[in-house]
Amino acid sequence: MIELHRSRVSRLEWTRSECESGACVEVATEHGYVLVRSSTLPLEVIRFTPEEWTTFLFDVKRDAFDLVDQGEPD
């Protein structure tokens, strides 16, 4: 995770996901990187290379990060 200066963050064009809670995922690009943040923590940013972003999206789509509690094992 990287921290960006407030003026740098404000210059970027962020795209916000649809969400109901107010804690939305926002994405921007800068210098060939994909930047991701939470709308509630706008200065804390995760930076992906294009290759990392593609891999991350692929894994999300195949539920590799399913963190929902599945209950106790039998």
The structure tokens 């963190």 sit at 67
Encode pLDDT of 14-58 as tens digits.
Answer: 999 988 888 899 999 999 999 999 999 888 899 999 999 999 999
59 φ, ψ to 5°?
-65, -40
Domain boundaries, the chain: 2-61
In this prediction, residue 70 has a pLDDT band, given cuts at 50, 70 and 90, of low
Element (H, E) at 61: helix 50-61
User: From residue 17, how far is each of 56, 70, 71 by CA, in Å?
Assistant: 16, 26, 29
For residue 38, which amino acid is it?
A: S
Quick check: 38 and 24 in contact, CB under 8 A? yes
Q: What is the pLDDT of residue 8?
A: 80
Provide the whole-model pTM. Answer: 0.75
